[in-house]
Structure 1
Amino acid sequence: MNRDPTDTVASKTSNLIRKSGLPEEMMGRMHPGAPAPPRLYGLPKIHKEGAPLRPIVSAINSPTYNLAKVLSSLMAPLRWTM
């Protein structure tokens, strides 16, 4: 990539939230605060030959993190359990 798309994603996320028509208090919880790009790191699989890495993506503080948290809490009652 030539440049970091974090600011573009944060701007688009804010615009979509603003146009959603949701209550102000809910929209305030969804807006990205100080967005940072998601972090990718690897954890070694020590039980395998050569210890290959298992990729992990941490989305904390990413532009869509707060939106995902709110949507997850809203959709939690809709999950069905076995």
Structure 2
Amino acid sequence: CRWEVETLFRELKTQYELDEFDTSDPDVVKILLYAALLSLLVSRELLDLVTEQADDEIVFPPERWAATFRSHAQLILHELGEYL
């Protein structure tokens, strides 16, 4: 369990730049933190959906998926908005 928490924080820091907030305003920090957590949640939910639909040979490690999601997030979220 501890390892999962550590990898989760590493993902938040590397993919969602959690440790690079350029502000000292506590309200802005909260907003950016919530945005990072929401992005992580959406990313993991999509990973679960993709994994369920993918062939058994295809494996998406969470950190690789996070990098892919981050680089395509705007397009993915736009398409989801159109779908919903």
Q: TM-score, normalised by structure 2?
A: 0.30
Structure with greater helix percent: 2
Q: TM-score, normalised by structure 1?
A: 0.31
Structure with greater strand percent: 1
